[in-house]
Amino acid sequence: MKPSRCLISSITCGIAAALIFAVPPSVAAADEEVNLYSARKEELIKPLLDRFTEQTGIKVNMVTDKAETLLKRLESEGINSPADLLVTVDAGNLYRAKEAGVTQPIESQVLVEAIPEAYRDPEGHWFGLSLRARPILYVEGKVDPASLSTYEALADPAWKGRICIRSSDNIYNQSMVASMIAADGVEATETWAKGLVANMARPPKGGDRDQIAAAAAGQCDLAIANTYYLAGMLTSGDQSQVDAAQVMRVFWPNQDGRGAHVNVSGIAMTHSAKNKEAAVKLAEFLVSPESQAWYAEVNGEYPVLPGAEVSELLQSWGEFKADDLQLSKLGEFGPEAVRLMDRAGWK
């Protein structure tokens, strides 16, 4: 995947927003509604849902909770669940939902054509809506970017005591390690993980933002974290977060090989869906170029739709080659990744 060269400057961003909010409503379908379980923060998706309702007359009822909680809820509600759609982050979570039997294939040529094959379930149970990149973030002046190359190289003793990364119970790391199992095999990845653990500046604690803050505070020289956290810190309005994010630089690893590790947030139709037609319409609405640009922008993520606009900030981090691994593999190798990290002593 190559993020588009196209910029969303504040001006064009305004135009994009105006485009989204200026389309006249089509004939409203009477009494149509769709029920969405969402693991995303309400403010990150609600304006799009409101626009969808304006355009189609279809009401969207949303329940927001943690990914694991929503999955458990879908499992316990079974076929009687009122949910039609599930929106959650990480292909690992989407895979788990499919494995748990709470999803069904979405039949939509629009989705199939819009979303690259790697970013959707091969059987159509889930589709990526935004792309999340997990590169190396280093402290400017402390790390020569020429000394960086691959995730694999971070196991080199030269990095001893210099790396911050969150715990292995986090699905972002589980999915990243799963991608390495897919690329390098279990044995090589386990050796790598042991090397990485030996190079950690401190026992893992906190989330991705905490790794960035720790690096900026001098506790380590680099962190592995999702780029939208960097975007979120830069625009947080909290000066200490802004200051921390400003000393960090993005390094895209594995550019001569498989590419940087990426993941998705995505959407799935529930097994219990009673408003299937409306659910498909909403999913298709979310992959339109305007929705994609807005959704990625507000989340600090990348669009999944090739050619959709990318914000100026993301553009400033440069184009990169993304690993084109079929993301269902992240779920498939997830349990092996957890066991491997355990064996490697990754807390």
| Distance separating alpha carbons of residues 91 and 321, to the nearest angstrom | 19
Distance, CA of 342 to CA of 345 (rounded, Å): 5
Closest CA to 118 of 344, 328, 312: 328
Q: Residues marked as binding?
A: 228-229
Annotated binding site for Fe cation: 228-229
d(CA 149, CA 284): 38
Rg (CA), the chain: 20
Q: Report how far residue 84's alpha carbon sits from residue 105's, in angstroms, rounded to the nearest whole number.
A: 12
What tokens appear for 187 in the block?
Answer: 């044995």
Residue 308 tokens, joined? 């959709």
Instruction: State the CB neighbour count (10 A cutoff) for residue 292.
Output: 26
Neighbour count for residue 93 (Cβ, 10 Å): 26
Q: Who contacts 155 (Cβ-Cβ below 8 Å, separation ≥6)?
A: 191, 192, 193, 194, 195, 196, 198, 199
Give CA–CA dist 35/181, Å, rounded. Answer: 37
Q: How far from the centroid of its chain's Cα atoms is residue 141's Cα? A: 29
- Longest CA–CA separation in the chain, Å: 65
Structure letter (DSSP) for residue 90: -
Select from 83, 79, 48, 76 the least CA-distant residue to 62. Answer: 83
- SS3 for 232? helix
Q: H/E element holding 197?
A: helix 186-199
Q: Extract the tokens encoding 341.
A: 């990290």
